[in-house]
Amino acid sequence: MSRFRVYAIRFAERDAFRGEHFHGYDARAGEPHTTAYYIWLAISDQHTVVIDTGIGPDRAAAIAGLRYRTTPVAALAALDVTADAVDHVVLTHLHYDHTGTARDFENATYVIQETEIDYWTSPWATRILRESWLIEDDDLAHLQSAEAHGRVVLTTGDATIVPGLSVHLVGGHTEGMQVVRLQTAIGSIVLASDASHFYENIEDDRPFPILSTTTGTYAAFDRIKQIADSPDHIVPGHDPLVLDRFPRLTPDIAIIAD
Ligand SMILES: [Zn+2]
Ligand SMILES: [Zn+2]
């Protein structure tokens, strides 16, 4: 049986407000609410997989208020993982804060939902103003080139990528948003990424305001709960609390499963 060791690696933080993170105004909308930025590393006997690739240093420098601690590749080096050793890079979706260093993993096969690529290359993506700052054109061009060179596995729904690691199309946040389920020593965990930015999104049934469809976002919550062994097996995408709910290896690295 293939089991993965899984780590959540925080590479940046930014101060924000609750109103930016929960759909619909409420009395607490003006309260401070920090967002954390992660990549995830999953290692089995046979595979080294990175889930999402964070933000590159150039884009990071242009984001007001972003506290950029390290590049994702440098963070992996601290775990004795070189970019060359990564065989798969799963991109949960193509927002800029998840694709930023994809090009650094030169030996990896990228795993992307077909509907996600289709959306970002469709007229909607240029017509909807918000999308232009959520996508990094250079990253999209790199992934399209990689696809032309046979380096992309395009998924259509649920798929086992390697033993013990599967992806699941959930949509909601973006058209082709996928979550990752991993078999680990503590059971089946789900990296929800931006299908639930914070624990509160999924635990209190309150979507994050940036979304493709509202109904899809609720359906994604249901699907994640269905495929995770328990609520404690769900890892949200931007919550600083991940580093409190799981043991820390370093101040910025949580051990999800060892
Ligand atoms: Zn996103
Ligand atoms: Zn994100």
Would the CA dihedral through 246, 224, 51, 119 be positive or negative?
A: negative
Domain count, the chain: 1
Q: Which residue type is seen at 162? A: V
Distance 173 CA to ligand 1 centre (A): 7
pLDDT of the residue at 12:
98
The rounded Å distance from CA 1 to ligand 1 centre is 32
Reported as a single tens digit per residue, the pLDDT across 148-197 is 999 999 999 999 999 999 999 999 999 999 999 999 999 999 999 999 99
pLDDT score at 133: 87
User: Ligand 2 center to residue 1 CA distance, Å?
Assistant: 31
The whole-angstrom separation of Cα 216 and Cα 214 is 5
Report whether 94 contacts 112 (CB < 8 A): yes
Q: Ligand 2: distance of its center to the CA of 126 in Å? A: 19
Of the pLDDT bands very low, low, confident and very high (cuts 50, 70, 90), residue 26 is confident
DSSP letters spanning 78-123? TTT--GGG--EEE-S---HHHHTTGGG-TTPEEEEEHHHHHHHTSH
Pairwise CA distance, residues 107 & 65, whole Å: 33
**In the predicted structure, residue 1 carries a pLDDT above the cut 80:** no
Whichever domain contains 193, its CATH number is 3.60.15.10
Closest CA to 216 of 246, 165, 256, 173: 173
Q: What is the chain's mean pLDDT, rounded?
A: 96
Which structural domain, as residue segments, surrounds residue 161? 5-257
| Ligand 2 centroid from CA 44, angstroms | 25
What residue ranges in the chain does DSSP mark as E strands?
Answer: 5-14, 35-43, 48-51, 66-68, 88-90, 109-113, 152-155, 158-162, 165-169, 178-184, 187-193, 234-236, 248-250, 253-257
DSSP helix/strand/coil, 131 = helix
Residues with CB under 5 A from ligand 2 (ion): 97, 194
